[in-house]
Structure 1
Amino acid sequence: MDSGVVATPALVARPLRLEPFRAMMLAPSRIGAQASARSFAQPYRDVASRFAAWQRSGQLSHDATPAVYLHEFTTTGITIRGLVGALDLTRRAGSRDEVAVFPHEGVHPAQAAELADRMAEMALNPAPILLTHRAPAGLRDRLREARRTSPEHQFTDRSGQYHRVWPIRDAPTLGSIADHLRAARVLIADGHHRYAAYGLLRTDHPELAPASDAGLAMLVDQDDTPLYLGAIHRVLPGLTLGDLDVLGATVRSVAGPEEAIAALAPDTVVTTDGHDWATIALPRTDDRLAVEILHDDVLRALHRPEIAFGHAHSVDEALRAVARRRGLAILMPAPDFADVLRAAEKGRLLPEKATSFQPKPSVGVLIRSLRDESTGRD
């Protein structure tokens, strides 16, 4: 998409604040449908008028009163629960100790700028970025109390996700949540480029102020309903197992896929050309993750520029890639959440597509209008 330059998103300072907003929500029959996803596509300037028409026809609702929303969704047997609000972006961290939101991957500036322009044209934050943290027990108790009431929204969407949504509007509960989040240090699980785009909305689109002082975010408690953290595998077109000879004794041939995949570990990756299999032992001299060692040491030794890499979110996808075109699949172990958080807190950016946090909620459950705060109610 751009020259390949990677930058660190701006760092938001504590105290972390999730502010109330007036959520827009598509009708359940529209959420999770491919046609609804296309409704956010070009021309982006038409999205706001399309949403206005849907609201008139009852296909979209718009809350009259701001809230922070507790959103629970279940898909493929996994339940995720999180607080959805407008993440305050107005305070920038001057030191690592002040940081509230930690990115763990860099962003491509051109992609972030395109997303910012897109959101400005739509006048929407169409979906929350995903943040995760280890919540204090007091916050978990407070949200458990909120769930004792009946949800305001409860439905199964077109993709099969089951949703329950509790708007939180009373001042004492909102104040308690704010107090518990004051010292929070959270990790961006998904949405690094949208997070960077939120910052660009503030600087490049002053017409949207003060709505652009915040961006839509969902904060998940990794100790309560943890997001699944999976690996993203690498595909290196044109390489053969023989090219790994430069790595010496760290490469060991194995009998087949079962033995190879069983060997996956924080210090071991697996490689295959689709027929033969081998393991690669990684040097563990520091606290780097396997994906960092692979990029810093192994792939550098193979003289592979990063722009040539392919990525696969499953073993089957990686194997299909090398079946279609000669090359090597490098299968990665799943990273540990604590290791990813530790790297981010130290200011390290992992290689692009180092993690896969799943599942994500369907688009359309909670949408934030940028017109609400910039020009008043729609």
Structure 2
Amino acid sequence: MSKRGQQADAGLHLLPFRGLRYVPERVGSLAAVTSPPYDVVVRPDGLLHLESADPHNIVRLILPQAATPAARNEQAATTLSHWLADGILAPDPEPALYVYEQRKGELLQRGLIGALALSGPEHGVVLPHEAVMPDIVEDRAALMRATAANFEPLLLTYRSDGSATGTGRGREDSPGREMNEGCETHAAGPTGAAGAAAVIERTIARPPLLATTTEDGFSHRLWSLTDPAEIAEAQSDLAHRQALIADGHHRWATYLRLRTEHPGPGPWGYGLVLLIDTVRHPLQVRAIHRLLHRVPVAEALAALEGLFRIREVDGLSRALDALAEAAATGNAFLLAGDGGFHLIDRPDEELLARTVPQDPPSAWRTLDATVLHHTLLDEVWRIPDAPEHIAYIHATDAAVEQAERRGGTAVLMHPVREEVVLELARQGVTMPRKSTSFGPKPATGLVLRSLSLD
């Protein structure tokens, strides 16, 4: 990989790298060795399912299991070394950018995977929108130090229409609306596509490096892009763009930390990313739910008496519809875990004024995630935001099922509108962590980056 100046210009500098990939003949199937991103894996059930799917599933690298953090990281490094020695994983012969496609029904997403030159938020090139937890950043950093590898591409979005934004549709979407409508039309691309879009369209006409379908119904295809002229064409286009971090804030913070530990030119100045043009491939925006391990629903509701309006709703589908309706006019949440669904909305205004910081902009103060963390968790329920107290779960049914099984409370959230995310990111205002879930997320395990190869 070229060691040229990492931020000579204000824009995205995406460089080719020698991808590390599974050797198909050495594994049961490519689908069986993939995983969702590390923070989407539901533990312990999902972890055990992935580990049993194939002895070489990537989860053994991204979420190694051992008695201590140091032992886990050592185990991941040892596993990676053994898989390389045994030919389970092998590097591609030459540096490449990778065109990656995900498809499920009418949903189609394509983008470029490469090694992105790292820059902090002060440069305004890559815009974060969520806060991070230092302990998680340190956990990911320790894993990357031990393995000298980027196992999972971050999901970044940009716009190809020449605007200064990193993402967004440029139009109003109703709250919670999944932004994949008309994706086939967008995927076909505007007439006369140029730059990265044109490179992607030409590449997908060739045979892919790999094709597989994962158990979630998504088909995945990957192409290698090695022609210097085509790489330069894509790079030239991206060099004028900003990006928004759609998924992977903790990994991005990890990249930046490790870059400061390894100053100067070199592989630590870059991080593995997937760049998606949301003009052509709009993403879905979904909520991330909370599971309160040690708080039964009855206890959570009792503490809310007189502070929120509380209503019972029958059935998950009806409850989510009621949540969407309530969230259109104010803060609203669903509590579940006792076999029922409890809609809480219309919070006491004095309570909000007393608990929500007033310095940030209104768009931040009125976020459901802001009210949840500052008002409910900190003030009403007094629950620390720590793994032993709170789990973050993407799937609604999984959050409800785990709460019912463990006697805890699932706090179901409504999605934040994409334009709110973008506007706050532009202002340099970070949302509470795990406020949004952009997707579809790239499958982990299709292409890895070894820093020792760059």
What's the TM-score, normalizing by structure 1?
0.80
Query: Per-residue CA shift, 1:234-261, capped at 9, x if unaligned?
Result: 33414342321231xx514244345432
1:175 matches 2:232 = yes
Cα offset, 1:65, TM superposition? 2.1
Query: Per-residue CA shift, 1:36-92, capped at 9, x if unaligned?
Result: 22552442332453243244xxx4342222221111133576433111010101x44
Instruction: Figure out how many residues of one structure are paired with residues of the other and give that number.
Output: 353
The answer to whether the 8 A contact 2:14-2:115 is kept is yes
Alpha-carbon spacing, 1:323–1:38, altered in 2? closer, same or farther (3 Å):
closer
Q: Which residue does the alignment assign to 1:304?
A: 382
Alpha-carbon spacing, 1:92–1:298, altered in 2? closer, same or farther (3 Å):
closer
Query: Per-residue CA shift, 1:226-284, capped at 9, x if unaligned?
Result: 3322111233414342321231xx51424434543212234333334533623313679
Alpha-carbon spacing, 1:142–1:117, altered in 2? closer, same or farther (3 Å):
same
Q: Which residue does the alignment assign to 1:71?
A: 100
Cα offset, 1:158, TM superposition? 6.3
Q: Which residue does the alignment assign to 1:25?
A: 21
Q: Which amino acid aligns with 1:280?
A: D
Runs of 4+, deviation exceeding 6 Å: none
Q: Which residue does the alignment assign to 1:287?
A: 363
Taking the aligned partners of 2:404 and 2:9, their CA distance within structure 1 comes to: 47
Q: Which residue does the alignment assign to 2:319?
A: 260
Q: Aligned with 1:72: secondary structure?
A: strand
Taking the aligned partners of 1:78 and 1:35, their CA distance within structure 2 comes to: 31
What pairs up with 1:212-251 in 2 under 5 angstroms? 212-236=268-292, 237-238=295-296, 239-247=299-307, 250-251=308-309
The answer to whether the 8 A contact 1:72-1:80 is kept is yes
Q: Which amino acid aligns with 1:128?
A: P
1:130 matches 2:155 = yes
1:348 matches 2:429 = yes
Cα offset, 1:219, TM superposition? 0.8
Alpha-carbon spacing, 1:67–1:232, altered in 2? closer, same or farther (3 Å):
same
Q: Aligned with 1:142: secondary structure?
A: helix
Q: Aligned with 1:246: secondary structure?
A: coil
Taking the aligned partners of 2:408 and 2:220, their CA distance within structure 1 comes to: 42
Taking the aligned partners of 1:232 and 1:197, their CA distance within structure 2 comes to: 21
Cα offset, 1:292, TM superposition? 2.1
Q: Aligned with 1:277: secondary structure?
A: strand
Cα offset, 1:222, TM superposition? 2.5
Q: Which runs of 5+ in 1 are unaligned?
A: 1-10, 374-378
Identity, in percent, stands at: 31
**Pick aligned residue for 1:363 from 444, 450, 453:** 444
Taking the aligned partners of 2:241 and 2:248, their CA distance within structure 1 comes to: 19
Taking the aligned partners of 1:269 and 1:301, their CA distance within structure 2 comes to: 16
What pairs up with 1:188-227 in 2 under 5 angstroms? 188-205=245-262, 210-227=266-283
What's the TM-score, normalizing by structure 2?
0.68
Q: Which amino acid aligns with 2:447?
A: L
The answer to whether the 8 A contact 1:271-1:278 is kept is yes
Q: Which amino acid aligns with 1:253?
A: R
Query: Per-residue CA shift, 1:294-345, capped at 9, x if unaligned?
Result: 3334545514334243433233233334424555433211222222222222
Q: Aligned with 2:362: secondary structure?
A: coil
Taking the aligned partners of 1:354 and 1:131, their CA distance within structure 2 comes to: 16
Q: Which amino acid aligns with 2:450?
A: S
How large is the Cα RMSD of the aligned pairs? Answer: 3.2
Alpha-carbon spacing, 1:363–1:54, altered in 2? closer, same or farther (3 Å):
farther
Q: Which amino acid aligns with 1:370?
A: L
Q: Which residue does the alignment assign to 1:376?
A: none
Taking the aligned partners of 2:209 and 2:198, their CA distance within structure 1 comes to: 20
Taking the aligned partners of 2:441 and 2:318, their CA distance within structure 1 comes to: 32
The answer to whether the 8 A contact 1:233-1:332 is kept is yes
Q: Which residue does the alignment assign to 1:4?
A: none
The answer to whether the 8 A contact 1:25-1:366 is kept is yes
Alpha-carbon spacing, 1:117–1:322, altered in 2? closer, same or farther (3 Å):
closer
Taking the aligned partners of 1:336 and 1:12, their CA distance within structure 2 comes to: 34
In terms of mean alpha carbon deviation, does 290-299 or 339-348 score higher?
Answer: 290-299
Taking the aligned partners of 1:13 and 1:356, their CA distance within structure 2 comes to: 30
Q: Aligned with 1:352: secondary structure?
A: coil
Q: Which amino acid aligns with 1:319?
A: V
1:116 matches 2:141 = yes
Alpha-carbon spacing, 1:80–1:106, altered in 2? closer, same or farther (3 Å):
same
Q: Aligned with 1:264: secondary structure?
A: helix
